[in-house]
Amino acid sequence: MSDLRFKLTLAYDGTACHGWHSGRSGKGVSDHIEKALAGLFPSAPGLVGSSRTDSGVHALGLVAHFDVPENEVRLPARRLAAALNALLPPEIRILSAARTCQSFHARFGATSKQYRYQVWNHPVMNPLLHQRAWHVPQALDIGKMREAAPCLTGTHDFRAFTSRRDGTLVDSTRTLTRCEIRRSGALLTFILRGDGFLYKMCRGIVGTLVRTGRGQMTPDDVRQLLADPTIRTRGANAPAHGLVLWKVSYRPS
């Protein structure tokens, strides 16, 4: 009996979750979805996600896939999202579910990912953006930040913008195709799109640009971080709760 592959697009509030995959705690986003899948399919299929978001990070368009034996599929694909959502906590929602080809791979097939990060730049925090935006009460020089942002686009060694984790970082070269800062009143939105991101790379970029806006760095310092990847951006990581995995793109099938 052959397996069928399904593609899921999902959104979640990462505040109470221990990242995409938690390991021991069982409170990762994928842990909850795999538990729901086990309630629908006896083989308890595992989930392959497009990204491994950290604890506290949110998502609006994360993509995942799973395989299930054909003889276990008892409901039409159009009802799968609703069936899973009935078994999931309210902070996690399947936006769409569909059959896909066996060649589709949520992680390795992704051509680009877009993240968005929100900063509330006002002396008083907006309570409606609590756990949705980083509160930066100090005045920021948006002009300097926008001068520095384009320096980060292109193919670079982004080692200076990642954080240490277990294992050796073999390849720290990534291509960033968009690094834009939008302002609407006190709300700043950083839009980052690239072919892939290192561990905490988005947060490192936003934190570095905010430091530039505070006058703690210059655009030339940002260029130097790319020219000399041994420099570390210690203390520059923006907090997790302002970050959203916005969209994952794939080649047309």
Positions annotated as catalytic residues are 54
Cβ within 8 Å of residue 2, ≥6 positions away: 69, 70
- In angstroms, the CA 36 to CA 252 distance is 29
Q: Is 158 exposed, middle or buried (0-12, 13-18, 19+ CB in 10 A)?
A: buried
Q: Are 194 and 137 in contact (CB under 8 A)?
A: no
- In angstroms, the CA 56 to CA 59 distance is 10
In 10 A of CB 223, how many CB atoms?
14
Q: Are 53 and 20 in contact (CB under 8 A)?
A: yes
3-state SS record for 68-87: EEHHHCCCCHHHHHHHHHCC
DSSP secondary structure string for all residues of 168-234: -----EEEEEEEEEEEETTEEEEEEEES---TTHHHHHHHHHHHHHTTSS-HHHHHHHHH-TTS--T
User: CA distances (Å), 158 to each of 6, 175, 205, 230, in order?
Assistant: 34, 9, 9, 10
Alpha carbon of residue 126 to chain centroid: 23
